[in-house]
Structure 1
Amino acid sequence: MKILIIGGNGTIGKTIVRHFKENNEILIAGRSNGDVLVDIADSSSIKSMFEKIGNVDAIICIAGEAKWADFNELTEDDYYLGLKSKLMGQVNLVRIGHNYLNPNGSITLSTGILADDPVVKTTSASMVNGAVHSFVQAVALEIENGIRVNAVSSGMVEDAFEKYKDYFPGHNPIPMNKVINGYVRSVNGKGNGEIIRIYN
């Protein structure tokens, strides 16, 4: 398969790329480096990316940002950061990207445990993750050409444990092989409209 991985140079992205490149042609997209550049917060950038690379068999997005801060400190613009990047960025990848998918292709979005189990300072991030879940379940009812749309929602991954452990007291770090399997299930399985939760 020809697989586009947006965010393929990140903490999780590098591991996902390493796995899928064993048997597939991989294109990495990133904001500052990769085979092709894209800013998912800008729909014209998404469109330009697809015009450059042409059709693919699968799209994986492991990108998108949201502001982490105390609720009383979050401004309206802080919320819009997550809405424009992690939410609408991924929505637009589906909205535009499905036109560049071969029949029976798949799109895999990424969220996280905050949608179901928020911690402090994540009012904005949790809201965005939950919205992506609802979008995935709804768009799966209407998307055509046998295309499937799923989301992988992971807990705090092992590779990021030291950086984020203070935010997640008592949470078990998720082994990277379990995270990989979530993306494999989405890309190689037959599920559609699924939220693939990897929390334990």
Structure 2
Amino acid sequence: MKVLVIGATGTIGSAVADVLTAASHQVVRASRTGPVVVDLDDPATLDAVFSTVTGLDSVVCCAAHGPLVDLESVTDEEFAAGAQAKLWGQVALARRAIRLLPDGGSITLTGGTFSAPLARGSLGALINSGLEGFVRNAAAELPRGLRINLVSPGWIRETLEGMGADGSDGTPAADVARAYADLVEGTARGRIVRF
């Protein structure tokens, strides 16, 4: 299977690309910099990647994040910009992939999970809920046996350790990556995998 992994230089994305490569899939690694460029803030890069990378069977997006913002002081513009890449960028990616993937193709997006209310997490909660609703409903609308799913990781062990925090509160990136691989290789539609 030929799989485009967007965000392939990040902690989760690189682990996903490695797991899929180890399973003998042909993986095209994309990121904001490098030979295959995708920036979810720039729809033109989505069009460009789909015109140059052909023959894809699956698209996996591990890119983008929603910033933590102070609900009381954030401006409307900052709030909208915070949702642009992770929410609207992934929706734009999925809409393009739907038109270009073959029958039975797969799209896997990335949300997030808060185990409890998080200070400055209202925007992130909005984005994650929006992605979950989009995936659940889009799965019922997709033509030609196409599938769409969402992985919603919480804290990643390696990220916590990189921040100088206790990594034991996070899930190893390799464990999260296996969930992406299971969705790419499986038959699930509209599934939300939370960690």
Per the normalisation by structure 2, the TM-score is: 0.92
Q: CA deviation at 1:89?
A: 0.5
1:32 matched to which residue of 2? 33
Q: What code does the residue aligned with 1:143 have?
A: L
1:197 matched to which residue of 2? 194
Structure that is richer in strand per residue: 1
Q: CA deviation at 1:182?
A: 1.2
In 2, Cα distance between equivalents of 1:165 and 1:137 = 36
Q: What code does the residue aligned with 1:29 have?
A: A
2:142 matched to which residue of 1? 143
Identity of aligned residues (%): 30
1:125 matched to which residue of 2? 124
2:104 matched to which residue of 1? 104
**Is the 2:19–2:181 contact (alpha carbons within 8 Å) kept by the matching residues of 1?**
no
Matches within 5 A, 1:1-200: 1-22=1-22, 23-33=24-34, 35-114=35-114, 117-163=116-162, 172-198=169-195
Per the normalisation by structure 1, the TM-score is: 0.89
1:32/1:20 CA distance change after superposition, 3 Å: same
Q: What code does the residue aligned with 1:191 have?
A: A
In 2, Cα distance between equivalents of 1:15 and 1:190 = 21
In 2, Cα distance between equivalents of 1:109 and 1:36 = 18
Provide the aligned length of Structure 1 versus Structure 2: 194
**Is the 1:65–1:81 contact (alpha carbons within 8 Å) kept by the matching residues of 2?**
no
1:164/1:68 CA distance change after superposition, 3 Å: farther
**Is the 1:62–1:109 contact (alpha carbons within 8 Å) kept by the matching residues of 2?**
yes
Give SS of 1:113's match.
coil
In 2, Cα distance between equivalents of 1:59 and 1:118 = 31
Deviates more, 1:173-182 or 1:59-68: 173-182
Q: What code does the residue aligned with 1:50 have?
A: F
